[in-house]
Amino acid sequence: MSYHHSQMMFSQPMPRQSMAEADAYTGKSAETRHLKPGEISTGTTIMAVQFDGGVILCADSRVSTGAYVANRASDKIAQLHDHIWCCRSGSAADTQALTDYVRHYLAQLAVETGRPPEVKVAAHLMRRLCYENKDNLMAGVIVGGWDPVSGGSVYSIPLGGACIPLPFAIGGSGSTFIYGLVDAEFRENMTKDEALALVKKAVSHAMARDGSSGGIIRTLVATEEGNEKDYVSGNQLPYGPAGW
Amino acid sequence: MARRYDSSTTTFSPEGRLHQVEYAIEAINNAGTSVGILASDGVVMASEKKITSGLLAPARTSEKTYKLCPHATCSVAGLTADANILIDQARLRAGRYAYQYQEPIPIENLVEHVCNYKQAYTQYGGLRPFGVAFLFAGYDENHGFQLYQSDPSGNYSGWKATVIGANNQAGKSLLKTEYGSSSSKEEGDEMKTDDADAAAEKITMPNVAEARRLAVKVLNKTMDGAVASPE
Nearest to B91 among A3, A100, A111 (CB): A111
CA distance B65 to B45: 9
Span B211-228, pLDDT tens digits: 999 999 899 888 875 554
DSSP annotation of A55 reads E
| Cβ neighbourhood burial of B83 (10 Å; 0-12, 13-18, 19+) | buried
DSSP chain B: --GGGSS-TT---TTS--HHHHHHHHHHTTSPPEEEEEETTEEEEEE------TTSPPPSS-SSEEEEETTEEEEEEE-HHHHHHHHHHHHHHHHHHHHHHSSPPPHHHHHHHHHHHHHHTTTSTTPPPP-EEEEEEEEETTTEEEEEEE-TTS-EEE-SEEEESTTHHHHHHHHHHHTTSGGGS-TTSPPPPP-TT--TT------HHHHHHHHHHHHHHHTTTPPPP--
pLDDT at B161: 95
Confidence of residue B132 (pLDDT cuts 50, 70, 90): very high
Give the HSE-up count for residue A40: Cα atoms under 13 Å, Cβ half-sphere. 13
Helices (H) and strands (E) in chain A, counts: 5, 13
The whole-chain average pLDDT of chain B stands at 85
Angle between helices A92-113 and B80-101 (to 10 degrees): 160
In the DSSP assignment, the letter for residue A134 is: G
Q: What is the pLDDT of residue A33?
A: 55
Evaluate if residue A214 carries a pLDDT over 70: yes
DSSP letter, residue A199 = H
> Of the residues A26, A32, A42, A44, which is catalytic?
A44
Burial class (CB in 10 A: 0-12, 13-18, 19+), B190: exposed
Distance of CA A50 to the CA centre of its chain: 15
- Is A104 within 8 Å of B95 when comparing Cβ atoms? yes
3-state secondary structure B117-139: HHHHCCCCCCCCCCCEEEEEEEE
Which of residues A144 and A18 earns the better pLDDT score?
Answer: A144
Average pLDDT score over residue span B128-137: 94
Other Cβ atoms less than 10 A from the Cβ of B94: the count is: 26
For B84, which residue in chain A has the nearest alpha carbon? A112
Residues B152 and A216: their CA atoms lie apart, in Å, by 56
Q: Is A104 on the interface with B (CB under 8 A)?
A: yes
Residue A100 and residue B99: Cβ atoms within 8 Å? Answer: yes
d(CA B45, CA B208): 10
Q: What ranges in chain A are assigned the alpha helix state H?
A: 19-22, 92-113, 119-132, 179-185, 192-209
Residue A187 and residue B140: Cα distance in Å, rounded? 46
Query: B72 and chain A: CB distance < 8 Å anywhere?
Result: no
The model's confidence at residue A190, banded by pLDDT at 50, 70 and 90, is very high
Q: What is the pLDDT of residue A42?
A: 60
Which chain A residues contact residue B96 at CB under 8 A? 3, 104
Q: What is the pLDDT of residue A27?
A: 46
Confidence category of residue A17, pLDDT binned at 50, 70, 90: very low
pLDDT tens-digit series, residues B172-210: 999 999 887 744 444 334 344 443 334 444 568 888 998
Nearest to B179 by CA among B194, B199, B156, B159: B159
Q: Which residues of A53-80 are buried (b: 16+ CB within 10 A; e: fewer)?
A: bbbbbbbbbbbbbeeebeeeebbbbbbb
Q: Which pairs with CB-CB distance under 8 Å and at least 24 residues apart come from A10-14?
A: A10/A128, A10/A129, A10/A132, A11/A132
Q: Which residue has the higher pLDDT, B178 or B161?
A: B161
* Residue A43 burial by Cβ neighbours in a 10 Å radius (0-12, 13-18, 19+): buried
User: In A, which residues are within 8 Å of B91 by CB distance?
Assistant: 108, 111-112
Q: Are A114 and B91 a contacting pair at CB < 8 A?
A: no
Contact status, residue B20 vs residue B139, Cβ threshold 8 Å: no
Q: Looking at the partner chain, which of A3, A103, A114 has a beta carbon nearest the beta carbon of B100?
A: A3
Question: What ipTM was assigned to the predicted interfaces of this complex?
Answer: 0.75
pLDDT in tens, A54-99: 999 999 999 988 888 999 999 999 999 999 999 999 999 999 999 9
Please tell me the pTM assigned to this model.
0.80
Establish whether A32 is a catalytic residue: no
Chain A: residue nearest B102 by CA?
A: A100
Task: Please give the Cα distance from B214 to B162 (Å, whole number).
Answer: 12
Kindly list the residues from chain A whose CB atom is less than 8 angstroms away from the CB atom of residue B95.
104, 107-108, 111
